[in-house]
Structure 1
């Protein structure tokens, strides 16, 4: 092996020499042609600063220091006016695209399980004018069915073109839209529908026949169910008071002259636009109330951080539209004339689980230029690619590492490596279609390792953002020229951010070298509170009439005005000996361990140590088991005490390299053979851990790992 390494190093000497000559010859023309000097200066400049010298003073973006941004298009002060502006400007252009389903096949796996595989065709497109026509007809149809302005209507549906058509119809006709994740459990769906008082529900035929069948008898206010799809639904199988029809029938009703000629009751900027039920990491879902002006302000701030957003862009929509990140991203894209092609996490790439081997995933066909992602999805991409790198021969692996390290050094300096992009990273980039020019990540902290990987291998900036449903998804986003990692950027132009002392956690505004504390966001994008829940302590209005939201996250402001998330109040546990452990910090660090796909750290205040639940990487753990001579099914491997010990060793090695404190390192582990998905109820739709549910799920293991105490 050592001989192979020496031989490989010798063979690579010409490569090293070529890289040196290439850098020397191309640096000067590249430097001037790409305006690298200006980009480096922009990356280093101060992006936000405090309003005053007083400790705890809010930080504002330097570009909008005097006043916060509220709207990009004068006069378009409601969401329906934004879309009308787009229809007028981009009428004949492609707007919403859906892939044709050619066939479905059942494929039997070696373990006996049967997976459904899809063969999909090309995208078919609706123009802006065609979408506008369907919006008018559907809104008119809802009115004809008795839905009154300012009356709530719920949508419980997967991400698809019909979801956005429904939303735009509701915005135009002033029907507040109640959004529910398609992966919510039956109890949560019943709760959201009942609390919101929605009389009309839009869903898909699949969800109607599966999840909603047991829910609908519990919801007394519902009178109409509108489903998407051509399938015939038997009304006799549902409560008698419900009128059930498909979306096409409602659009046909709305297209009748006597209905279409009735003008819609248009909203005001202060009218309720969306009640977004968050899946939440604890307890029952809460409905966040967003008025039109809240959403427009938030999107104005977000779009300012996406340079060149316009009709040349193609956005791929696959995250849940009931999540604020996806909904605001798509509405923003429509405002600027982009086209949106719909996908799903199961059909995203050629390697996705529902794509038949040899056929193309959505990214390959659509070739998007923009996409949003949550860290969980980016971590999966990173681990899949790095796993393939490990399977390369020693020469290929060394060449990849050489190019990776070379480009990493260039990026740290603010430069690039165009030759590496063309020769070595082109295949990796092709996994997402090859055209992605910017990725936006939100929902949870993204590990620096994964962020660097996306920068290098996908050859595009990753705009890491921070925002909450309660702030319409807006808070901070990194600028494209900022290649630092571990930070979430400066406050957006629509809001300001301040840090409040949290004495229990030891964070204050007077901390050195940087101020630290609980993140409080204020501005026009802060929502109106929780539906039917008054006087929430999380919201307050200051003496100037500005609304603020207390996030519960702990942040640190760097000298250039960029924010870093360093902790969370709810994740802090005090051990028996008095040490404070941030569970989120431990999890973020240990996700860097290649053998871990997902991890939940757990600590009991009556105990002196941390334990963990781990979803291991099946390929790597199986390989490790073979090395140790351990055989059996996947479940048997995960339940083997020797494998638990092996994973613990890997955890300790990574924890030590990342300088975690001794008391922060888990000393016992439970390996889970089943992944945590929103369908299992153990994570939210944004793949955030549901700690209460995880605790209940692993209660027996917790007792075992704590010695039955």
Structure 2
């Protein structure tokens, strides 16, 4: 079959049959919310915020029990069987761990409910007292979800901590919340043992069995002051001593969620059961057809509200959750042994939540593969892509109906297979997704990608792209649980009276807005406010604009805090203060782009570099010439890495690339204020070309 004949004839014959135009509709509607003047919208589906999607269900604990009773025999939690771990060496001698994984083994809703009840009883019998808090410090896995639900059934507040959290932040999180029991993976035990003397309240450790890891457990058992038990031992103890559930109220704090820390030490956000339930309920109204046939691939951190809310939605719908990891996600992932299938291929999920970095990787892999083939294969892909692009953009002569199915079969079938071949909806969150990637993945997978906007402080609730919205670069209208309003930010020049669309700071109100920061009343009062109607609002610090149809677009941020592509927060000022101690740095401006996973820096170096160059015997005509030399850049970068290490900065906070600018920044140049504070926007525009080179 000649592909060029298909490309020429099929569109003409079928486009007239399967015509479609892009419909315009109001997705967000203006609403009077009172209080501080602003431009406020609600979701077009509901006049008032949704608190619960289910009559009589007011907590996440009740929601879990309801689903377990409705779907007792349905598969709920799936984990892949590990057959072996092997070490392979690359050509340059580096070692890589490779996993040989089997099929998914499942716990049904009924089995999971029993495991939750057993573990909940076991915690109490182990000595955990009412009013004490439990921390979960582990990678995403079935035991994480079981432990979470078990704590909820005994009205125990859970402190969630990223498995990758640094030493200082880990100590702070555990001590501030006075955690007495820590549930962790075996590889996290070493971290805990190293800081054991700095933990004031921890009494018990419950470790989750991970095949192939045992030394860390024996270290803690033999040397720590803690009571140490395995997850299985606690379940067994509870099974032998079953207790009645002590169910929480809607207003009880379900989770204290520690963020990765935007400035200094992380803050703990207090989420009530009602807060989380509101977001879960709202999402249930947005994604059509959610039900027991859906399969969800879970691999993002459950310590993040995005993943916790997503899994709660799947449980509410009676779906199945298969656990994986970013390093085993696809057939070509780093830890997958050759000949072994990745998580997506084995599970064949219908739903996934993805961070932009994962989707960028899929896009780049597909493009690289297509370009390497060249010839007819590349031309066919280009034709198919252009035809589908035209259709999505609303053209009558794009590929619709049977032609779409034909291109899916001939071209896009292999791309779909990367994520299992059955994806019907993708949610991208945690960081901005580029319009190019969103459109590319949408076309190749043949499934919509919804972008959501929310924060830990709003239980991930805020806005959410609707199923039939094919636009890119926007984050959708308000979720049914939220009101979203813009207020003037005079200093930045963003006003709700701006034309053609209102702009301003994004403020989110509704039942999903959390209680505030744990033991941080000052910061809570700064960003949380309650209006005269009793509605709680969170002031995000993000700047947005509303499109005419009521969808939100994020355009700026008030503070010098940037979220990178993987979702990590970088405080520009904090990092600059740490790095300017380098003897080679006169001034520095860190730059972080939300579409990349690393930082770069513009540096005006000190003339101490001249002395260094003379000692090294490096010839240079003038200071500008010295700044251009490769060995000079390497020396300055090395000094920054040293300063970063001493300041205990994370890797993502340390600039990966730098450029040296010989001219000093002065108030006269307009690059700094009279108080010598950086004028970031002016510097960014002045050195836009240099910044582009650093990201090239």
Matched ranges for 1:632-647 at <5 A: 641=630
How many pairs are equivalent?
A: 597
Matched ranges for 1:138-287 at <5 A: 138-208=119-189, 210-229=190-209, 231=214, 233-234=217-218, 240-256=224-240, 259-260=241-242, 262-287=243-268
Contact 1:216 1:238 in 2 (8 A): no
Q: CA deviation digits over 1:662-708, x for unaligned, max 9? A: xxxxxx999x99xx9xxx9647xxxxxx6xx325x87xx46x44568
Distance 2:143 2:186 in 1: 13
Contact 2:453 2:464 in 1 (8 A): yes
Distance 1:392 1:669, change over 3 A: farther
Of 410, 422, 432, the match for 1:445: 432
Aligned to 2:599: 600
Aligned to 1:330: 311
Contact 2:590 2:601 in 1 (8 A): no
- The SS at the match of 1:116 is strand
Matched ranges for 1:685-700 at <5 A: 693-694=653-654
Distance 1:218 1:368 in 2: 43
1:118 paired with 2:99, answer: yes
Aligned to 1:376: 357
Distance 2:363 2:129 in 1: 48
**1:175 Cα deviation from its structure 2 partner:** 0.4
Quick check: 396-405 or 458-467, which moved more?
A: 396-405
Distance 1:403 1:682, change over 3 A: farther
Distance 2:515 2:235 in 1: 32
Contact 2:291 2:319 in 1 (8 A): yes
Gaps of 5+ in 1: 1-11, 575-580, 592-596, 608-638, 645-667, 684-689
**1:641 Cα deviation from its structure 2 partner:** 4.7
1:559 paired with 2:548, answer: yes
Distance 1:123 1:524 in 2: 37
Distance 1:411 1:669 in 2: 46
**1:240 Cα deviation from its structure 2 partner:** 4.5
Distance 1:240 1:228 in 2: 17
1:23 paired with 2:11, answer: yes
**1:640 Cα deviation from its structure 2 partner:** 9.1
Distance 1:24 1:180 in 2: 57
Distance 1:180 1:524 in 2: 24
Aligned to 2:46: 64
Aligned to 2:339: 358
**1:300 Cα deviation from its structure 2 partner:** 1.1
Contact 2:542 2:557 in 1 (8 A): yes
1:128 paired with 2:117, answer: no
Q: CA deviation digits over 1:637-667, x for unaligned, max 9? A: xx9959x9xxxxxxxxxxxxxxxxxxxxxxx
- The SS at the match of 2:248 is coil
Distance 2:554 2:465 in 1: 13
Of 546, 565, 571, the match for 2:535: 546
What RMSD, in angstroms, separates the aligned Cα atoms of the two structures? 3.0
Distance 1:470 1:238, change over 3 A: farther
Q: CA deviation digits over 1:465-501, x for unaligned, max 9? A: 1010000011111111100000000000001101111
Aligned to 1:295: 276
Distance 1:408 1:343 in 2: 32
Distance 1:640 1:430 in 2: 47
**1:243 Cα deviation from its structure 2 partner:** 0.3
Q: CA deviation digits over 1:432-484, x for unaligned, max 9? A: 00000000001111100000011011111000110100000111111111000
Matched ranges for 1:491-570 at <5 A: 491-535=478-522, 536=524, 537-570=526-559
Quick check: 333-342 or 386-395, which moved more?
A: 386-395
Contact 2:256 2:518 in 1 (8 A): yes
Contact 2:193 2:220 in 1 (8 A): no
Contact 2:481 2:510 in 1 (8 A): yes
Contact 1:571 1:583 in 2 (8 A): no
Distance 1:487 1:669, change over 3 A: farther
Distance 1:266 1:52, change over 3 A: closer
Distance 1:308 1:430 in 2: 22
TM-score by length of 1: 0.79
**1:394 Cα deviation from its structure 2 partner:** 3.2
Of 277, 280, 286, the match for 1:305: 286
1:454 paired with 2:436, answer: no
Contact 2:193 2:224 in 1 (8 A): no
Contact 1:148 1:175 in 2 (8 A): no
Distance 2:123 2:375 in 1: 63
Distance 1:319 1:527 in 2: 22
Distance 1:128 1:318 in 2: 20
- The SS at the match of 1:400 is helix
Gaps of 5+ in 2: 562-571, 574-588, 606-627, 666-696
Distance 1:236 1:325, change over 3 A: closer
Distance 2:220 2:345 in 1: 43
**1:502 Cα deviation from its structure 2 partner:** 1.2
**1:16 Cα deviation from its structure 2 partner:** 4.7
Contact 2:529 2:538 in 1 (8 A): yes
Distance 1:441 1:201 in 2: 31
- The SS at the match of 1:552 is strand
